[in-house]
Amino acid sequence: NAGVTQTPKFRILKIGQSMTLQCTQDMNHNYMYWYRQDPGMGLKLIYYSVGAGITDKGEVPNGYNVSRSTTEDFPLRLELAAPSQTSVYFCASRGGQLGNIQYFGAGTRLSVL
């Protein structure tokens, strides 16, 4: 059982470039989340989705976009990358029961230079 899979693992972008971070889960979870983690800081929620076709902003959504066309996939789009977006990005998913555990992927380490 693969769980939550993120690609790529590492990426270097130039300022102004765009890219999509991929996230897929095979647990048939309705809820999916994108976080960023900066050194010495807690995980900050960027966007989340409660099901296919439904997304909402988290704490730090500026500079990002998401879509959720299927239950399995929840890609995160960076438009016009900026150095402030240098971070480690984690995708997570959970089932629909109240208080269910969020399961995390291994992360994508992104540097914007």
Partner 1 sequence: EDQVTQSPEALRLQEGESSSLNCSYTVSGLRGLFWYRQDPGKGPEFLFTLYSAGEEKEKERLKATLTKKESFLHITAPKPEDSATYLCAVITQGGSEKLVFGKGTKLTVNP
In whole angstroms, give the CA distance from residue 53 to residue 76.
Answer: 14
Q: Is residue 62 at the binding interface for partner 1, with CB under 8 A as the rule?
A: no
Q: Is residue 105 at the binding interface for partner 1, with CB under 8 A as the rule?
A: yes
Cβ at position 14, least distance to partner 1 in Å: 24
Q: Is residue 26 at the binding interface for partner 1, with CB under 8 A as the rule?
A: no
Cβ at position 98, least distance to partner 1 in Å: 7
- Provide φ and ψ at 63, rounded to 5°: 95, 0
Q: Is residue 56 at the binding interface for partner 1, with CB under 8 A as the rule?
A: yes
Cβ at position 25, least distance to partner 1 in Å: 12
Number of residues lying near partner 1 (CB under 8 A): 26
CB nearer to partner 1: give 5 or 17. Answer: 5
In b/e form, how buried is each residue of 4-23, taking b as 16+ CB within 10 angstroms? bebeeeebebeeeeebebbb
In whole angstroms, give the CA distance from residue 80 to residue 104.
Answer: 26
